[in-house]
Chains A and B, each alone.
Chain A
Amino acid sequence: MSTASAIPAIHGTVTVGVPVEQAFRVFTDSFHTWWPPQYHIGKEDLADAVLEPREGGRWFERGVDGSECDWGGVLAWEPPHRLVVTWQITGEWQFDPDPAHASEIEVRFTADGPGQTVVELEHRHLDRLVGGQAMRDAIIGGGGWSALLETFATAATATP
């Protein structure tokens, strides 16, 4: 059951001491080098996390056994200033191709002098994510990222 009430977006800001082009490049091309590896959804440990550098590109993880698991897709690819990706995982722990069920993450890179960049992140439309029935089971069996997403899904469906 969806309702009109929205979950407030998450905002984050970090200032990095590098030019805007480098900030964008590390965020995207080198995504796998900095993403905390404990936050993943595949059954296997995380071997790689990939953000394909184009609009319509995939955003996915690769497990140590080579299996791939989608996280979402690239909605906007505007180097070196803006990136929008979707996050679309259901409560049943499956990739959900329906764009109506996608939360969005927008990242903006703004030069703050020649060697400094402000990176602003917004994770929004959290209420679009579809939950499953087995949230409690999933939390018991999971933990970390999976527990988070299940909490997510429940919040999305339970919001009065």
Chain B
Amino acid sequence: MGAYGDAGLGLLGDPTRRAIFELLAQRPHSVSELAERLPVSRPAVSQHLRALKEGGLVVNRAEGTRRVYRLNPDGVAALRAWLERIWDEALTAFQKAAEAAPIDPEQEQQ
């Protein structure tokens, strides 16, 4: 398991991938349904879905002529990706707060 600093923000660090993940958490979507709801092109959606699938966060199946994506019901990879994202955000915020805080608590009043 890499540290946060490592691969940047991980699979859900990209805002579009995160938006796709959150839409799929609501219900399964096809590629074109996702593209309609997001400000990105259909090829871009497909590319993000490929990354999410490779990361084990989503699975797909054919439904007639379309391919429908949903969160991986196994859930473990999704859980961990979500958590990594949250801790990454929290630790980054902590770093900023720590470096902005006065060195000595007594100095806070000044």
- Which residues in A have some Cβ–Cβ distance to B below 8 Å? 7-19, 22-23, 25-27, 30, 33-36, 39, 117, 119, 121, 123, 126, 139-140, 143, 145, 147-148, 151-152, 154-155, 158-160
Contact = CB atoms under 8 A, between A and B. Distances in A.
B80 A30 contact: no
9 contacts: A7-B80, A12-B87, A26-B97, A123-B83, A126-B83, A139-B25, A148-B82, A152-B79, A158-B74
Contacts of B38: none
B4 A12 contact: yes
A121 B1 contact: no
B62 interface: no
Interface in B45-96: 71, 73-76, 78-80, 82-84, 86-96
Nearest to B24: A139
A72 to B, nearest CB: 15
A8 B56 CA distance: 14
Contacts of B105: 25
Interface residues of B, number: 37
Given A34-B94, A126-B79, A39 B73 contact: no
B75 A10 contact: no
A122 to B, nearest CB: 10
A18 B101 contact: yes
A160 to B, nearest CB: 8
A158 B25 contact: no
Contact of B76 (A16, A26, A139, A159): A159
Given A14-B91, A27-B98, A145-B86, 6 more contacts: A7-B76, A10-B87, A11-B1, A16-B94, A18-B103, A36-B93
B91 A39 contact: no
A17 B73 CA distance: 41
B94 A119 contact: yes
